[in-house]
Chains A and B, each alone.
Chain A
């Protein structure tokens, strides 16, 4: 099925460990995004990539890095995980923001 695929779905990390969240879309969308969702906070933008080869910081980029590997793939890396990064992470893509995003099913990350 066409859409946005995120892996893994669940992950538990110890403080200080690193990991990469993977995201791929097969809709030929130009723009891709990483959001985190926390209780009472809505969806907050971590990083985005308006087009292949470009990445920019969003609202809450500290502690994260991203790579737009090609048009399909946009990964999010936590270099040294902290408990404050416990959250649900969503990847999304779109042709243009006003067309609406297509979201992946999310990665639930717990940092202990």
Chain B
């Protein structure tokens, strides 16, 4: 049962344009959502997060939008740069027995074309 889904395995975008990465979830108990970025042969790095009480969080070129009614979140990168080429993981967390359990999506590989 994949509770966090990233339905697009890959995405190609021209440099300077907007990249939009999507993520859907099924568990309404998730109360925090995070995005991680991963380069080959490296561990994922935390990028940006959003609480379920908000619908938008912005950090420089990165903005995360949350639509709770649709159980959907998205990461916008504007403008996209070649260095943004990486795999992006969506993650969601929920309290479980006193522990904040985090579930990851399967990732979307973003290629930014110069």
Contacts and interface: CB of A to CB of B under 8 A. Distances in A.
Interface size class of A (residues with CB under 8 A): 20 to 34
Interface string B42-54: 1111100101000
Contact of A100 (B4, B34, B42): B34
A103 B41 CA distance: 12
Interface stretch (B10-18, B67-75, B76-84, B96-104): B96-104
By secondary structure, the B interface counts as strand
Nearest to A100: B46
Given A50-B99, A98-B32, A98-B49, A41 B43 contact: no
Contact of B106 (A41, A96, A100): A41
Interface of A: 4, 35, 40-45, 48, 50, 56, 90, 92, 96-98, 100-106
